[in-house]
Amino acid sequence: MAGLVPESVQKVANVALGSREGDKLKDLAQNTKDTTNKDRLTTDYGVKQGTADDWLRVASHEKTGPMLLEDPFARERIMRFDHERIPERVVHARGSGAFGKFRVYESAADLTFAPVLTDTSRETPVFVRFSTVLGSRGSADTVRDVRGFAVKFYTEEGNWDIVGNDIPVFFIQDAIKFPDVIHAAKPEPHNEVPQAQSAHNNFWDFQFNHTESTHMFMWAMSDRAIPRSFRMMQGFGVNTFTLINAKGERHFVKFTWTPELGVHSLVWDEALKLAGQDPDFHRKDLWEAIANGVFPKWKFGIQAIPEADEHKFDFDILDATKVWPEDLVPTRYIGEMELNRNPDEFFTQVEQIAFCTSHVVPGIGFSDDPLLQGRNFSYFDTQISRLGINFQELPINRPTCPVMNFNRDGALRHTITRGTVNYWPNRYEACPPAAKEEGAYVEYAQKVMGIKARMRSDKFKDHFSQAQLFWNSMSTIEKRHIINAFGFELDHCEDPVVFGRMVQRLADIDLNLAQTVAELVGGEVPKQGRPNHGRHAPALSQTEFPGSTPTIASRRVAILIADGYDQVAYNAAYAALSSALAVPLVVGTKRSKVTAANGKSTQPHHHLEGLRSTMVDAVFIPGGAKSVEALTRNGRALHWIREAFGHLKTIGATGEAVDLVHRAIGLPSVSVSSSGDVHESYGVVTLKELRPERLTEVVTIAKGATGFMEKFFYGISQHRCWDRELDGLNKQV
Ligand code: HDE
């Protein structure tokens, strides 16, 4: 294989030699080749081609005659092209992914004997795919939607897939209803509108008629559905699984991923604009962070309920429309996952990866969760129509441990199995089933009794308590965003029956919510609501997960300049941002060279029209009389700053730029410094009289810092300046 294996893959495989993470990369290397200038163009059957430009035809220098069907090169090219597309995933079609590793730092041996969760010295390679649910493969990343969070662990005992979402509950309790909820949410059947949106009649018609969705649609209207980044989302297995320990004891469990960077979202206006301005925003964000070596990390947590306690809760623990509140069942964090390598090729890795909830390894099992049981059927089945019956042989899907069985043939079978028998039992005792001591998967001997019936336990019938629990647990800002989300969604439903009924449904959650939304969207204002139980569960609010330490690593910060900018402030900001591992993006009034006041020049990464304020997390504007004058006269620049302010982003300015910011924002309540002191007001950090030593300070990112950069960076690390919204400032922008 030498020469065919790309150097990058070889390098990583060599570095990681001996580590489990390297095992999957080495395995993939067998099927990986580089596009090099050494190799010559050939057909798929290996014959070198002398031209890639002309179809074989009857021709002369005077006349271009008819083409010949005989040409095998041309036919191969066209026929291969004609069949390049495979069916996109029926849901979660739009996604992106990366490689990484998983390790437990605390053994869960009390819960399971699966080494992936007990052996703290073991590193397990993983591939993770993030996705939206509703849109087609080419839809925008930032739409309001649930995000998929699917993890494939290549363990030594076989592949284990946690096919989760960024929201811990689901719309339905029984898998039989999946086609209905998805049909209702996808584009409507008569005109295939709208794309990647829940804001339409059919979606909300279903939600009203199907009360068990109530809890989930509250999550879908929250900021969880517009994440800032895949790297800033929690992940949840949603379904109830089981873990079995060495003593044979069984626990019901739920799995959670919590990001090191904290849980952060876009603001709605930003999400809408980004869908047009940069539809690949999340895909690029993940790629950029990994390429820059700022590897995203998640803690892995387990909630566990002993088998004997199954019925001790006022909800059914097998109901996927319910969370297990953390005050009742705390999450125990025992491991960490890091994503550290971008794919080599999108199609063969991100598109061809096939997850199945039924992929579990010894020590991990299913429960009678009626959604999970149906999913176990569905995923395997869908891979057959998407990828074919031999999908598990594809490089990205095959396990790193040995595979041997008598499954044979089928379209596109790759493995060549030698031997005279393909059945068990056989006279050679070839490929016998494994004993338990050899690591065989043995099902837990669960006692099952009951009548055959189409029913669920009575506790499944409570559809509102946890929707109220969720609403009660939201912060003021989160509640406001949910109200606005309903305002947007129901405004897009033209049918008065749909929005009229939905606002009545909201009264089952909270009367005030229902009345405010009714007023907004023009429905009849409800007078009575369902009594609220008043309970809270703080961990449902994303504000409970700000991130482990304040950091600006991987945050995108624009530096706005025009000819005549102050080079000292520019250099100081650029260097400080880079050393804090942020991504400084220089944005000029033009993309050709911009000259500083001192005669030095810079080539901006972008100009104002190309990179919009929506695409960055914060803005810095250095002074410089001429530069500031040019920006002040530039409508796009003023809009840029104003929009960043409206989207609650931290803004830093020095010297003459302080007045520019003041003018762009135009709000007397946002004060700026008039002296040499660093000043901060509503996330606008200013330093009017620039002394270089004030800019070259060591930057520690912590609350209460006094230096200019420190204050600016701390503001960025907090993600948004929520006070602007709480005090109603951005409404005026
Ligand atoms: Fe899925 N889901 N799902 N789902 N799902 C698929 O499988 C299905 C559900 C989730 O990145 C499909 O390979 C049924 C819950 C993710 O490749 C399909 C039910 C959760 C992904 C399917 C559910 C998910 C899928 C389509 C109800 C969160 C993308 C393509 C019983 C825990 C995986 C595919 C990837 C994909 C069926 C409900 C998450 C059709 C029948 C609940 C992240 O098999």
What phi and psi values does residue 278 have, to the nearest 5 degrees?
Answer: -155, 75
The candidate with the shortest Cα–Cα distance to 185, out of 131, 225, 239, 135, is 135
- Residue 154 assigned ligand-binding role: no
Ligand 1 lined by 131 (C-beta under 6 Å): yes
Distance CA 660, CA 663 (A): 5
Q: HEC profile for 294-344?
A: CCCEEEEEEEEEEHHHCCCCCCCCCCCCCCCCCCCCCCEEEEEEEEEECCC
- The structural domain count of the chain equals 3
Task: Tell me the mean pLDDT in the region 211-223.
Answer: 98
Asked if residue 609 and residue 518 are part of one domain, the reply reads: no
Tell me how far the alpha carbon of residue 348 lies from the centroid of ligand 1, in angstroms.
20
Tell me how far the alpha carbon of residue 172 lies from the centroid of ligand 1, in angstroms.
13
Residue 38 within any structural domain of the chain: no
Ligand 1 lined by 517 (C-beta under 6 Å): no
Task: Tell me the mean pLDDT in the region 367-384.
Answer: 97
* CATH number assigned to the domain comprising residue 265: 2.40.180.10
Q: Which atom of ligand 1 is nearest to the CA of 172?
A: 27
Distance CA 357, CA 160 (A): 8
Q: How buried is residue 659: exposed, middle or buried, by Cβ count under 10 Å (0-12/13-18/19+)?
A: middle
Q: Which atom of ligand 1 is nearest to the CA of 237?
A: 32
Tell me how far the alpha carbon of residue 356 lies from the centroid of ligand 1, in angstroms.
8
ipTM: 0.98
Q: Which residue has the higher pLDDT, 243 or 8?
A: 243
Residue 75 within any structural domain of the chain: no
The candidate with the shortest Cα–Cα distance to 172, out of 378, 331, 449, 343, is 378
Burial 89-116 (b: 16+ CB within 10 A, else e): bebbbbbbbbbbbbbbeeebbebbbbbb
Q: HEC profile for 221-259?
A: CCHHHCECCHHHCCEECCCCEEEECCCCCEEEEEEEEEE
Looking at residue 695, its pLDDT comes to: 65
Question: What is the DSSP pairing of strand 618-621 with strand 650-654?
Answer: parallel
* Ligand 1 pocket mutation pick from 173, 236, 353, 355 by most atoms within 8 angstroms of CB: 355
* Ligand 1 pocket mutation pick from 163, 182, 377 by most atoms within 8 angstroms of CB: 163
Asked if residue 630 and residue 525 are part of one domain, the reply reads: no
Length of the chain (residues): 733
Q: Which of 358, 393, 428 finishes a domain?
A: 393
Ligand 1 lined by 164 (C-beta under 6 Å): yes
Ligand 1 lined by 185 (C-beta under 6 Å): no
Would you call 686 helix, strand, or coil by DSSP? Answer: strand
Ligand 1 lined by 152 (C-beta under 6 Å): no
The two three-digit tokens of residue 48, written as one number:
């070198």
Asked if residue 102 and residue 208 are part of one domain, the reply reads: yes
Q: Tell me which residue has its CA closest to atom 23 in ligand 1.
A: 375
Looking at residue 14, its pLDDT comes to: 42
Asked if residue 508 and residue 381 are part of one domain, the reply reads: no
Name 305's bridge partners. 252
Asked if residue 661 has pLDDT above 70, the reply is yes
Q: Tell me which residue has its CA closest to atom 20 in ligand 1.
A: 164
Q: What letter represents residue 158's amino acid? A: G
Distance CA 680, CA 448 (A): 64
Asked if residue 640 and residue 521 are part of one domain, the reply reads: no
Q: Could you read off the pLDDT of 613-622 as tens digits, one per residue? A: 999 999 999 9
Would you call 576 helix, strand, or coil by DSSP? Answer: helix
Looking at residue 10, its pLDDT comes to: 38
Asked if residue 576 and residue 480 are part of one domain, the reply reads: no
Ligand 1 lined by 203 (C-beta under 6 Å): no
Looking at residue 374, its pLDDT comes to: 97
How far is residue 494 CA from its own chain's centroid?
31
Asked if residue 333 and residue 376 are part of one domain, the reply reads: yes
The two three-digit tokens of residue 675, written as one number:
């002296």
* CATH number assigned to the domain comprising residue 564: 3.40.50.880
Q: Could you read off the pLDDT of 304-327 as tens digits, one per residue? A: 999 999 999 999 999 999 999 999
**Integer angstrom CA distances of residue 343 from 45, 96, 100, 339, 627:** 27, 9, 10, 11, 42
Residue 30 within any structural domain of the chain: no
Distance CA 285, CA 295 (A): 12
Q: Could you read off the pLDDT of 122-131 as tens digits, one per residue? A: 999 999 999 9
Tell me how far the alpha carbon of residue 132 lies from the centroid of ligand 1, in angstroms.
11
Q: Which atom of ligand 1 is nearest to the CA of 353?
A: 17
Task: Tell me the mean pLDDT in the region 529-552.
Answer: 96
Q: Which atom of ligand 1 is nearest to the CA of 378?
A: 44
Burial 386-420 (b: 16+ CB within 10 A, else e): bbeebbbbbbbbbbbeeeeeeeeeeeeeeeeeeee
Q: Tell me which residue has its CA closest to atom 19 in ligand 1.
A: 375
Tell me how far the alpha carbon of residue 727 lies from the centroid of ligand 1, in angstroms.
41
Residue 334 within any structural domain of the chain: yes
Ligand 1 lined by 564 (C-beta under 6 Å): no
> For residue 700, what pLDDT band results from cuts at 50, 70 and 90?
confident
Residue found under tokens 């009951």: 450
Tell me how far the alpha carbon of residue 169 lies from the centroid of ligand 1, in angstroms.
13
The two three-digit tokens of residue 463, written as one number:
């559809």
What phi and psi values does residue 657 have, to the nearest 5 degrees?
Answer: -70, -20
Asked if residue 521 and residue 565 are part of one domain, the reply reads: no
Ligand 1 lined by 374 (C-beta under 6 Å): yes
Residue 26 within any structural domain of the chain: no
Neighbours of 558 (CB within 10 A): 29
Q: Which atom of ligand 1 is nearest to the CA of 174?
A: 31
Distance CA 230, CA 342 (A): 14
Cα end-to-end span (Å), the chain:
61
Distance CA 140, CA 278 (A): 8
Tell me how far the alpha carbon of residue 161 lies from the centroid of ligand 1, in angstroms.
12
Mean pLDDT of the chain: 94
Distance CA 500, CA 505 (A): 9
Ligand 1 lined by 196 (C-beta under 6 Å): no
Q: Tell me which residue has its CA closest to atom 27 in ligand 1.
A: 175
Q: What percent of the chain lies above the pLDDT cut of 70?
A: 96
Tell me how far the alpha carbon of residue 332 lies from the centroid of ligand 1, in angstroms.
26
Q: Which atom of ligand 1 is nearest to the CA of 165?
A: 28
Q: Could you read off the pLDDT of 422-445 as tens digits, one per residue? A: 999 999 999 999 999 999 999 999
Domain range for residue 575?
Answer: 556-732
Asked if residue 17 has pLDDT above 90, the reply is no
**Integer angstrom CA distances of residue 716 from 142, 258, 574, 619, 652:** 21, 20, 15, 9, 10
Tell me how far the alpha carbon of residue 133 lies from the centroid of ligand 1, in angstroms.
9
Distance CA 710, CA 247 (A): 54
Q: What letter represents residue 170's amino acid? A: F
Q: Tell me which residue has its CA closest to atom 32 in ligand 1.
A: 164
Q: Which atom of ligand 1 is nearest to the CA of 97?
A: 11
Asked if residue 21 has pLDDT above 90, the reply is no
Q: Tell me which residue has its CA closest to atom 11 in ligand 1.
A: 129
**Integer angstrom CA distances of residue 394 from 390, 425, 517:** 7, 28, 49
Catalytic positions, written as ranges: 92, 165
Strand ranges (DSSP E) for 307-418? 332-341, 364-365
Ligand 1 lined by 375 (C-beta under 6 Å): yes
Residue 691 within any structural domain of the chain: yes
* Ligand 1 pocket mutation pick from 86, 90, 92, 146 by most atoms within 8 angstroms of CB: 92
Asked if residue 11 has pLDDT above 70, the reply is no
> For residue 5, what pLDDT band results from cuts at 50, 70 and 90?
very low
Task: Tell me the mean pLDDT in the region 376-384.
Answer: 97
Helical ranges in 278-312 per DSSP H: 281-291
> For residue 168, what pLDDT band results from cuts at 50, 70 and 90?
very high
Asked if residue 566 and residue 515 are part of one domain, the reply reads: no
Asked if residue 386 and residue 485 are part of one domain, the reply reads: no
Ligand 1 lined by 89 (C-beta under 6 Å): yes
DSSP code for 351? I
Residue 573 within any structural domain of the chain: yes
Please tell me the pTM assigned to this model: 0.95
Task: Tell me the mean pLDDT in the region 464-469.
Answer: 98
Asked if residue 610 has pLDDT above 90, the reply is yes
Ligand 1 lined by 355 (C-beta under 6 Å): yes
Q: Which atom of ligand 1 is nearest to the CA of 320?
A: 42
Q: Could you read off the pLDDT of 468-517 as tens digits, one per residue? A: 999 999 999 999 999 999 999 999 999 999 999 999 999 999 999 999 99
Q: Which of 514, 531, 548 finishes a domain?
A: 531
Q: Which of 366, 393, 420 finishes a domain?
A: 393
How far is residue 693 CA from its own chain's centroid?
41
Distance CA 603, CA 622 (A): 16
Residue 424 within any structural domain of the chain: no
Asked if residue 486 and residue 616 are part of one domain, the reply reads: no
Ligand 1 lined by 372 (C-beta under 6 Å): no
Task: Tell me the mean pLDDT in the region 80-107.
Answer: 97
Residue found under tokens 């033009």: 590
Asked if residue 101 and residue 181 are part of one domain, the reply reads: yes
* CATH number assigned to the domain comprising residue 482: 1.20.1370.20
Q: Tell me which residue has its CA closest to atom 8 in ligand 1.
A: 375
Would you call 466 helix, strand, or coil by DSSP? Answer: helix
Ligand 1 lined by 371 (C-beta under 6 Å): yes
Ligand 1 lined by 341 (C-beta under 6 Å): no
Tell me how far the alpha carbon of residue 91 lies from the centroid of ligand 1, in angstroms.
7
